[in-house]
Structure 1
Amino acid sequence: MPTKKLALLGVLIALCVVGRIAFASIPNVQPVTAIIIICSFWMGPVTGLILAAGSTVATNMVLGSGTWTITQIIAWSVIGLMSGLIGKWFQKTPVVILAIYAGLCGLLYGFVMSLERLVVGKLFWPYYLAGIPFDVNHAIGNVIFFMVLFPVLSRLLKERAAYMIQ
């Protein structure tokens, strides 16, 4: 991996960490998912995977980690991979459609996080249903963060993505 791309990933991970910590007091509202979607869209699925794992590990060092850390890595990695593939195949997708997609990713994230209950032998459906209001917060936050961050990050990443393609 080129040094410039590695440095850019480090800055993007730091942006995710700062954003997640800054909004930690609002349940499930944080810019990490939107940043992963935007960066993966312009830089590819592998970048999304690295950004998802790096952001999760780095933020959980501050906010606390546990069994949910693995599930967070999986959820954000899936979102990063999907977003990277959308960017490769459908780069002309309208921003409004991508914002709706970002909202749906908030709901997907909550569902994947709830799957941990199946693994540890707890009740899945009560846990998932109780978490729906938090998932809706995540979805709404994703749409807002996406609409705010997409123009800024796209301008920065679109130019760099051309010479940093996987």
Structure 2
Amino acid sequence: MSSAVIAETGDSGPVDRAPCILALDLGTTTGWALHGHDGLITNGTVSFRPSRFDGGGMRYLRFTNWLTEIDRMSGPISTIWFEEVRRRAGTDAAHVYGGLMATLTAWAELRGVPYEGVPVGTIKKHATGKGNAAKQAMLEAVRARGFDPADDNEADAIALLLWAIETKGGMA
């Protein structure tokens, strides 16, 4: 049995299940892609934009709750991959990214879920052949693979998930 398949015993005997892999493009609008136990890929975006009545930590509490709900509904999550950004254009974006990354890694550590960041250039090169590909090229590359992302955040998460599956078998 390969390491990418988990055997479970059901009423009718052993059932092979693929690992549940979550890929994230962290930001105020977070792109996500999930390779479920059934082998299907689902994807989307989720907004962690605070309302005017929210305190500073509400964005991160909502992100924690979202992760917990994904794990409960589709998990347990076997591995988490996230886009590792080395440079952000603005201070606010850098703070949001750092807070989301800290929340993600703490959430994963508490549950024993392996996680790993992947440099943006690595994801872009795998998807398009160019490590400095533009957002439109990433959207086109993901669409060519049969997906219909709503925006570049979702496209990046899908591209990251495909990279993880195709180069690492999905496991960190």
TM-score range, shorter chain: 0.3 to 0.5
Task: Give the TM-score, by structure 1 length.
Answer: 0.32
Higher strand share: 2
Larger Rg: 2
Structure with the bigger RCO (C-alpha within 8 Å, sep 6+) is 1
Higher helix share: 1
